[in-house]
Amino acid sequence: MTFECPKWPPDWPEIGQSVESVLRSGAWGQYHSDICKQLEKRLSRQFETAVARLCCSGTAALEIALRAQQIGPGDEVILAAYDYPGNFRTVELVGARPVLVDVHPDTVSLDPNLLKAAASPSVRAVIATHLYGQPAQIDAIRLICDQQKWLLIEDACQVMGMTIAGQPAGSFGDLATLSFGGSKLVSAGCGGALLAKSERLAARLGPLLDRPGETYPLAPLQAAAINPQLDRLAELNHRRAANVEWLSDHQAAMPHWRMIENPKARRFPDRDKPDLEDGNHSAPDANDSAPAHYKTAWIANSQTHRTSIIQAAKDRNLPIGAGFRSASRCSSRRCRKPVETPYSQTFGEQLFVLDHRALLVNDDQRKSLLQVLTQLHDDTAKTN
Ligand SMILES: *Cc1c(COP(=O)(O)O)cnc(C)c1O
């Protein structure tokens, strides 16, 4: 049995109409178009930040954030060992030194209880990433960053439209990054944005973004394709979240896979990490959060188990792939490793993800999604 995967990027007529109107108006051929300025205003309203600036990718957004703060040689930046690998590379690229901490097993985002152990006079910033529809423990991270006077950069590239205790993801950091990349919840093929908490922080982005030519631009045609997707983001996030919840309710049918999910509903068992037991590492209350699932994640029993799941998923047309490679084993010449990172390492080897396009199924189709998933689970159970 194979899966009929919903189409992505979306082929909605309103995207065509929006692009066509920008073609007709001539705005497609302009620098500094109104449509791009309006999109920046729209994003700053939606994300409740002082300023939003468009740029060419989520990865470039992080580079601009670091450079705008003149973070470079001699500086350190704390991030999770399990994270989008481009974040580590970008810290290196600007000449700063990555400092790795472990992820919290429930949130798959950096564990705030480990931040103090990572402190040094050279630390300038922390990168906190929300992954797989799970909010990072962003309040606790924010508090420590304020105490230590570290810049908080929030990577919201995967969670556009997620709210945490009623507040949009992307509004907690001093600066935050968004992506309109080809695989993301809102796609322009490529593209990104920077959110700045204050005018003062935004002012520092200007010299990099406007020189006076636009250095990392997003084109008016891309903005035209983005707008209709933003109109429907909340609706689609809701549908994806409902389907994830439904899969979570049926986890008993997939006992060899451990789902990363609402930490209040089911917690990932602490494996062999007794030193996590004494800290107050309770995960955030996800009850009043609206998730945004770019991927939903499970943990396989071993790396070979994961390999067989991914292989067998291909044959069934299920968009399942490996998670990120962990930086846990990265040479200490390239980074500082003040704490052990066992969860990051496990996730780097055993985590696999189902893409958001599969989470767009309607109520009828989701029975077949579950059926294909449980078949896949059963057929690969022996490779544990
Ligand atoms: C995709 C992604 C990025 C980078 O976005 P691009 O626009 O592809 O450069 C950054 N962080 C995370 C967590 C991502 O998933």
The number of angstroms, rounded, from the C-alpha of 196 to the middle of its chain's C-alpha atoms is: 18
Q: What is Dmax (Cα atoms) for the chain?
A: 63
pLDDT of 264 strictly over 90: no
Ligand 1 contact, 58 CB (< 6 A): yes
The pLDDT of residue 107 is above 90 = yes
pLDDT at 263: 53
Both structure tokens of 328: 């846990």
**Total residue count of the chain as it appears in this document:** 384
Q: How do residues 141-164 score in pLDDT, each as one tens digit?
A: 999 999 999 999 999 999 999 999
- Sorted by where each starts, the structural domains of the chain and their CATH numbers stand as 13-229 (3.40.640.10), 231-380 (3.90.1150.10)
Q: In the 8-state DSSP scheme, what is residue 251?
A: G
Q: Do 320 and 380 touch, CB atoms closer than 8 A?
A: no
Q: Which two tokens stand for residue 252?
A: 């008993």
pLDDT-derived band at 288 (thresholds 50, 70, 90) equals low
Residues 6+ away with beta carbon under 8 Å from 283: 104, 106, 107, 137, 263, 264, 267
| Range 199-217 burial, b when 16+ CB lie within 10 A, else e | eebbebbeebbeeeebebb
pLDDT at 59 over 70: yes
pLDDT value for 323: 98
Instruction: Give the tens place of pLDDT for each residue, 10-23.
Output: 999 999 999 999 99
Substitution site in 155, 178, 186, 347 for ligand 1 pocket (most atoms within 8 Å of beta carbon): 155
* Residue that the structure tokens 């007794």 belong to: 274
Q: Is 84 in the pocket of ligand 1 (CB under 6 A)?
A: yes
Task: Quote the ligand 1 centre to 279 CA distance (angstroms).
Answer: 31
Q: How confident is the model at residue 213 (pLDDT cuts 50, 70, 90)?
A: confident
Ramachandran angles phi, psi of 179, nearest 5°: -130, 140
Q: What is the CA radius of gyration of the chain?
A: 21
The pLDDT tens digits for 219-251 are 999 999 999 999 999 999 999 999 999 999 999
Tell me how far apart the alpha carbons of residues 42 and 3 are, in angstroms, rounded to a whole number: 37
CA–CA separation, 306 and 258 (whole Å):
12
Tell me what the mean pLDDT of segment 169-190 comes to.
Answer: 97
| Ligand 1 contact, 33 CB (< 6 A) | no
pLDDT, residue 214, reads 87
pLDDT at 346: 98
- Nearest-CA residue for ligand 1 atom 8 is 181
This prediction's pTM: 0.93
Residue 289 is predicted with a pLDDT of: 73
Compute the mean pLDDT over every residue in the chain, rounded to the nearest whole number: 92
Can the peptide bond before residue 274 be classed as cis, meaning omega within 30 degrees of 0?
no
Phi, psi of 153 (to 5 degrees): -105, 120
Q: Give the pLDDT of residue 285.
A: 47
Q: Give 199-210 pLDDT, tens digit per residue.
A: 999 999 999 999
User: 378 alpha carbon to ligand 1 midpoint, in Å?
Assistant: 32
